[in-house]
Structure 1
């Protein structure tokens, strides 16, 4: 191995550390008591505002959580009212099946009572019937034309209702199936 030669430093070439800068004396500012009082008031106001902010934030979170719970319950129990109004209809049908000596008149009377219960249940739950009349203008938002037939009435008017339609809370559940008059 070769020895690496170290450069020799002569005494007059030795680097000297830079001189330390002089430290200035801190400036002392006289603080008047009015300034200190304003500072304390400002800090108190800041603490008050922080507290109010945290309370408002917590209230907002609580409201959001309660709203989510309410929505969840509404989805879960959406059909509860409808189911409650359908129970008497089921009860009537079960009672009709238990009758041993059935006559045509009793069967018809029981069916009419059960139908009234069903209609009341529908109305209570805003399930409304769409039953267009002959000559009514075809409404594509409520009616579905399944065929066109020659008729002596205006074109695109209802000739016959094949199946009633239904809306629930102003929303179409099923359109009424109709035949309509052809253009002449």
Structure 2
């Protein structure tokens, strides 16, 4: 007869401990695998998000570059149009000066009258362009618009008053194009 080993309670406890240790290892292995899968999924999501952000950044950079180029073209076009408008106004004056010089025989009176007409036309062209003259005798001296090239002692004129204008100044709006060259009384 074969003797059967009797299982003692200690032996069954060891078997149970081995089973729980194996189950714990399996659980630990499962948890580790789940954690790896979870981390892998998060990594893939982060990579997808990064790729999406990079594409958006590239699109934004391209849009900005296009905007910058378009703005530069528009700026150049506006400048060219403004220059063309200014030249167009001055061309009429140049044409009249050429006509005056083409006259072979004319009196001094006719010549003076023609020059006065050309000057009036030039003033009208400057007015149309928004250019205003500055620097009149009797004005208070203002270093923001006048360039004092000489001083004179004149008690009748008062202090810091323009007594003579050597060259008129011009401005568009508040921007000075050319300062008026003047003589100032002290």
Q: TM-score, normalised by structure 2?
A: 0.62
Residues in 2 aligned to 1:179 and 1:138: alpha-carbon distance in whole angstroms: 9
Q: 1:95, CA displacement in angstroms?
A: 1.2
Match of 1:166 among 143, 167, 170: 170
Q: 1:62 corresponds to which residue?
A: 66
Paired residues, number: 155
Greater percentage in helix: 2
Q: Which runs of 5+ in 2 are unaligned?
A: 1-24
2 CA distance for matches of 1:80 and 1:164?
Answer: 25
1:95-114 alignment, distance < 5 Å:
95-114=99-118
C-alpha distance after superposition, 1:122-162 (max 9, x if no partner):
2233332113232x221111122312222313211122223
Contact kept in structure 2, 1:151 and 1:159, CA below 8 Å: no
- Spell out the pairing of 1:35-184 with structure 2 (5 A cutoff): 48-71=52-75, 79-134=83-138, 136-145=139-148, 146-182=150-186
User: In 2, distance between residues paired with 1:38 and 1:140?
Assistant: 70
CA radius of gyration, larger in? 2
- Could you list the per-position Cα deviations for residues 42-90 of structure 1 after superposition, in whole angstroms to 9, with x for gaps in the alignment? 7766655444332212101111223344455667777433222211111
Name which of structure 1's ranges 113-122 and 62-71 shifts more when overlaid on structure 2.
Answer: 62-71
Deviation at 1:39?
A: 8.8
Structure 1 gaps, min length 5: 1-23
- 1:41 deviation in Å? 7.8
2:60 match: secondary structure: helix
**Root-mean-square deviation (CA), in Å?**
3.7
C-alpha distance in 2 between matches for 1:174 and 1:30: 80
The two structures have a TM-score, normalised by structure 1, of 0.63
CA contact (8 A) 1:149 1:179 kept: no
Indicate the SS of the match to 1:162: strand
Q: Is the 8 A contact 2:135 2:146 kept in 1?
A: no
SS, match of residue 27 in structure 1: helix
The answer as to whether partners of 1:166 and 1:176 remain within 8 angstroms in 2 is yes
